[in-house]
Amino acid sequence: MLLLLVVTAGAMMILNRADPAFLERLRTTVSDTVTPILEALSKPAEAVREAGDDIKTASTLKKEVESLRAELSQLRTWRTRAQTLDAENRELRRLLQAGPPIEARFIGARIIGDSGSAFVRSMLINAGAERGVQKGFAVISAAGLIGRVVETGTHSSRVLLITDLNSRVPVRIESSRDRGILAGNNSDLVRLIFLPVTSTVRTGDRIVTSGHGGVFPPGLPVGEVSEVKRTDEGHLGTIRVRPFVNWNQIEHVRVVDFKMPGLVLVPGQSQAASAGKGKPGTSGKE
């Protein structure tokens, strides 16, 4: 067989030198003859492969259907709980004669710069007094709270981020309703301080704004507890919170005009004028 292959290869080399066109026609003829045979032989293998893919797809779809059914059942349970809580909330408001929730107005803006410093965490947005932005207004993104306005110009404003060392935000733990203060420290993780000594804060708890102070609307998502340290006596120690906001991906924000009269002063308005505003027989002037 080896000798036959050597002789055949030599003959083909001679033919290629003598008549290249003949060898090309020979190769084409052989290819045309062999192609249908190879195609016919490949169909069973392709059918087996497609059958295997169908089995894998069916198995995956079955698992997805089971997962969706479980999720649907859970959502139905949550919907029932939400309807119950909504009814209880309305009844409690009626008993307490509570007024409607305070409405907020949103002003869209785009980030046009940042502090560029390791000692100050702030951003510059392209919305200012001309669009109704005032000092003290909260600033949020789609993920959660970013900070508050600390400087306002005609067309731009400076926003102090919640991670800045000078930032203090009244918050509460969403699950236990315990109130505390979120304190920035110029790092990606902020601290949760002034919690009650009996607080049962745990890793993974969601932190939202409490609304105390009238600057931040209640219920704004802030972050998630990432670390809880306790002393040797079991008392609460350092509690760190990871904000929901990804600072490297923020492009657009919303300024929140939280309508709580008298708590956020308009520039140039005195404290006495703010306190006397709206009282019968009081002009607000000294």
For residue 244, pLDDT over 90 is answered with: yes
For residue 277, pLDDT over 60 is answered with: no
88 lies in the same domain as 151: no
- The last residue of a domain, from among 100, 133, 165: 100
89 lies in the same domain as 196: no
233 lies in the same domain as 128: yes
63-105 pLDDT per residue, tens = 888 889 888 988 988 888 888 888 888 778 777 765 555 667 8
Angle made by CA atoms 255, 264, 206, in degrees to the nearest 5: 55
Domain membership of residue 272 (yes or no) is no
How far is the CA of 242 from the CAs of 37, 67, 282, in angstroms? 64, 29, 46
**Cα distance between residue 116 and residue 125, in whole Å:** 14
117 lies in the same domain as 221: yes
Q: What is the pLDDT of residue 140?
A: 93
Give the CATH number of the domain where residue 127 resides.
2.40.10.340
What's the half-sphere exposure (Cβ side, CA atoms, 13 Å) at 12?
Answer: 11
130 lies in the same domain as 176: yes
Domain count, the chain: 2
154 lies in the same domain as 80: no
Helix or strand (DSSP H, E) at 37 = helix 20-96
Domain membership of residue 2 (yes or no) is no
Instruction: Report CA torsion sign: 126, 131, 135, 136.
Output: negative
Domain span at residue 112?
104-261
- In the numeric block, which tokens belong to residue 170? 């009244």
